[in-house]
A and B are shown apart, each in its own frame.
Chain A
């Protein structure tokens, strides 16, 4: 079985400062990992995914994440936050059988002007 832990339920940053959203996973095999973003009243949107290729994954809107097997982590970063980045972010692991996704509890990112 796999699981995901998002270490912060809320993160607040100022516009223009770096963003770090932390995620640790547990899996008995080499996982596929994703970050999704959810804006209010909108569907989940895929930011980026890791599927055993390069460990540093670049996504949309300037986000990137680094897969660190030794630390079982997949933290999401962005060099400079924008007001439009304020949303809920979910770290997700995909099961080995089928395409079952297991979501973390989410991190709400707030961006202050």
Chain B
């Protein structure tokens, strides 16, 4: 089966510019996640969707970051305006629900590497 797709793979922008990332989860996966992975650290969850609703966005810097999953499938993550400290890899993951409606194992995409100059 096809994995989680992300684009672009790389992006270089100047500070104060805006940028958007796109994610297409594995077909049929109800839950979608966006993570930020700063160089040398483990990924940190930014936001979790179940279908088109937000489950957890407690760690999303809402003054500059936004995300949506309007039709419960694809998702976009936007940064506006970008800061130098936003340089990181942005990972998208998805997971199915089990028979009890609980999320199962997360599958990760290749990530988008963002460099803010």
Contact = CB atoms under 8 A, between A and B. Distances in A.
A99 B111 contact: no
Contacts of A60: none
- Secondary structure dominating the interface of A: strand
In the complex, which range does the number of interface residues on chain B fall in? 20 to 34
Interface of B: 3-4, 31, 33, 40-45, 48, 55-56, 91, 93, 95, 102-111
Interface in A37-68: 41-46, 49
A41 B41 CA distance: 15
B110 A103 contact: no
Contacts of B3: 43
Interface of A: 4, 34, 36, 41-46, 49, 90, 92, 98-101, 103-106
A99 B42 contact: no
B103 A98 contact: yes
